[in-house]
């Protein structure tokens, strides 16, 4: 399996909110998504990034969200442009895997409406059943859920398998053990990572388990952020511990909002 990461947009945040060892000054957080190239099944899109057209949406809550985060979409990639860079079109997609349902992971879905979607079906059902206000407390907007009306194939509808790593069990979402969905609860409802192998080394896309690699590896995710954003604090700590143990046993980790991999920090 070969992984390609693409920057979709950039968010600006106070460094101290992402890592208690970082200064308060403004820091740039990229929003990334990935295309995994399976040797026989074709490309698999992992998340979609944010989507500029949603900014024009006439929803006060969504406008407020984008006003606060001020995502700079610049010349960032969308699923279509990323696939095109790799010589593919959306019609070539085997599937789209959603790590969770936050805007910067699913807002690009309208570009690839025909693709098969895989995600946490229970989390999606819970989010759909919530009132708009309650959903907002989970940082999920109903506009972004509309392309998910057809639902997702649930991770747990695929065979449960051992990852044979410190990450514990996962789901064999492609049926050939080449890509496992790993439950990493703590960040958003239904949050999962994805594990595959490159040169026989296990690789994990840990999505938003942490925002920066330094905060993950130094265990310095600030309490304020942990409480406000990572609502299930205890579960989040357990997920971080498993990801750190995975790195310690030789695994390579990527995050959504940091271009540095775990290898870059260890060096
Ligand atoms: Zn998120």
pLDDT at 144: 87
What spacing in Å lies between the alpha carbon of 229 and ligand 1's midpoint? 8
What spacing in Å lies between the alpha carbon of 81 and ligand 1's midpoint? 22
Domain ranges of the chain: 2-266
What spacing in Å lies between the alpha carbon of 208 and ligand 1's midpoint? 5
pLDDT at 188: 87
pLDDT at 198: 94
Residues around ion ligand 1, judged by CB within 5 A, are: 102, 188, 208
pLDDT at 55: 54
pLDDT at 48: 96
CATH number of 2-266, picked from 3.40.50.1000, 3.40.50.300, 3.40.50.10490, 3.60.15.10: 3.60.15.10
What spacing in Å lies between the alpha carbon of 128 and ligand 1's midpoint? 17
What spacing in Å lies between the alpha carbon of 189 and ligand 1's midpoint? 9
What spacing in Å lies between the alpha carbon of 100 and ligand 1's midpoint? 7
What spacing in Å lies between the alpha carbon of 161 and ligand 1's midpoint? 25
pLDDT at 71: 74
pLDDT at 51: 83
What spacing in Å lies between the alpha carbon of 139 and ligand 1's midpoint? 8
What spacing in Å lies between the alpha carbon of 12 and ligand 1's midpoint? 15
pLDDT at 228: 64
What spacing in Å lies between the alpha carbon of 200 and ligand 1's midpoint? 29
Beta-carbon contacts of 122 under 8 Å, excluding residues fewer than 6 positions away, are 154, 156, 190
Beta-carbon contacts of 114 under 8 Å, excluding residues fewer than 6 positions away, are 90, 91
What spacing in Å lies between the alpha carbon of 40 and ligand 1's midpoint? 30
pLDDT at 57: 60
Distance CA 230, CA 213 (A): 16
Six-digit token string for 242: 């498993």
By C-alpha distance, which of 92, 138, 145 is closest to 119?
145
Instruction: Give bridge partners of residue 11 from the DSSP assignment.
Output: 29
| Residues of the chain with confidence (pLDDT) below 50 | none
Instruction: Give bridge partners of residue 35 from the DSSP assignment.
Output: 4, 45
């Amino acid at each position: 399996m070969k992984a390609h990461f693409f920057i979709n947009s950039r968010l600006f945040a106070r460094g101290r909110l992402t890592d208690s060892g970082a200064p308060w000054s403004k820091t740039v957080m990229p929003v990334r998504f990935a295309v995994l190239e399976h040797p026989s099944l074709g490309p698999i899109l992992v998340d979609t990034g944010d989507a500029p057209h949603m900014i024009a949406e006439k929803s006060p809550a969504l406008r407020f969200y984008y006003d606060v985060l001020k995502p700079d979409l610049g010349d960032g990639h969308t699923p279509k442009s990323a696939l095109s860079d790799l010589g593919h079109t959306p019609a070539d997609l085997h599937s789209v895997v959603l790590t969770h349902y936050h805007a910067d992971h699913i807002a690009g879905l309208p570009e690839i409406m025909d693709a098969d979607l895989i995600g946490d079906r229970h989390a999606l059902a819970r989010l759909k059943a919530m009132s708009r206000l309650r959903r907002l407390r989970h940082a999920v907007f109903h506009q972004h859920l509309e392309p998910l009306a057809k639902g997702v194939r649930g991770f747990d509808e695929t065979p449960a398998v051992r990852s044979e790593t410190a990450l514990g069990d996962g789901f064999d979402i492609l049926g050939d053990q080449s890509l496992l969905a790993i439950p990493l609860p703590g960040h958003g409802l239904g949050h999962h990572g994805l594990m595959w192998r490159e040169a026989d080394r296990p690789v994990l896309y840990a999505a938003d388990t942490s925002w920066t690699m330094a905060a993950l590896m130094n265990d310095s995710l600030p309490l304020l952020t942990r409480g406000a954003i990572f609502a299930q604090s205890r579960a989040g700590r357990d997920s971080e511990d498993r990801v750190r143990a995975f790195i310690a046993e030789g695994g390579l980790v990527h995050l959504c909002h940091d271009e540095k991999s775990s290898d870059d920090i260890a060096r």
